[in-house]
């Protein structure tokens, strides 16, 4: 059982989640694993939602959602690897859309 306490805008919420596992590790190791998983999950989804507006996407049919998600992950990874320009992810995306040389540099990182 994991009890998550979250505070947003002064409002505290408590959520209890249950896990079934065959791991023989101690509680501290398990808690660290859960925390690190959600940290990675939250940061990736935040980037996908803010930069690529993934939550607003209306693609729902057949394999299109999975294909689009794959391209989104590739785009985020390539823009994250590009270190020459010191901009945020959204600005890098805009720059790649406006400057073909920068776009070619980003795509060459693949």
**pLDDT at residue 59, rounded to an integer:** 86
User: pLDDT for 26-49, tens place per residue?
Assistant: 788 888 877 777 776 667 777 888
The whole-model pTM stands at 0.58
Distance CA 56, CA 61 (A): 15
Distance CA 83, CA 6 (A): 34
Question: What are the residue boundaries of the structural domains of the chain, listed by start?
Answer: 32-107
The neighbour count for residue 95, using CB atoms within 10 Å, is 16
């Amino acid at each position: 059982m994991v009890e998550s306490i979250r505070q947003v805008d002064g409002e505290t919420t408590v959520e209890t989640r249950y896990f079934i596992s065959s791991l023989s590790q101690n509680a501290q190791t398990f808690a660290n694993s859960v925390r690190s998983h959600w940290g990675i999950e939250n940061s990736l989804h935040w980037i996908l939602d803010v930069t690529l507006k993934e939550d607003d996407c209306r693609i729902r049919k057949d394999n299109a959602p999975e294909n689009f998600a794959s391209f989104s992950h590739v785009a985020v990874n390539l823009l994250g690897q590009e270190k020459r320009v010191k901009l945020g992810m959204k600005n890098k995306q805009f720059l790649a859309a406006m400057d073909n040389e920068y776009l070619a540099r980003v795509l060459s990182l693949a």
